[in-house]
Amino acid sequence: MPVFNNTNEYDRAGAPINGLSAEEMLAKAKEIANTLKLEIASLYTTPTLGQIEQIMEKLQGEDEETIRMNTAAYKATAECNGANIDVESDGHIV
């Protein structure tokens, strides 16, 4: 019987710790908007990529885990005419 190694890490609730990156969430939001033929008026992450860069500068010298926990974007939003598309870092889409 084959054995597979799952490289993802999960928290106690079963949500992935190392979920989608900011770029992956933004790409998924664009893909969904295109599929629904919606024009994107605004596309951003929460926190924004600029805010993440500022946090990374403040955390220089910290361990990798601390930096990852404090700099991960947890949501990408595509504001479209008549709809908002939210893609969360765990892959959940609203």
The pTM (predicted TM-score) of the whole model is 0.67
Q: pLDDT tens, 13-64?
A: 555 566 788 888 899 999 999 999 999 999 998 888 888 888 888 888 888 7
Residue 45 vs residues 7, 13, 15, 79, 89: alpha-carbon distances, Å: 25, 24, 19, 11, 10
Classify 29 as helix, strand or coil: helix
**If we measure between CA atoms, which residue out of 20, 23, 17 comes closest to residue 91?**
20
pLDDT of residue 36: 92
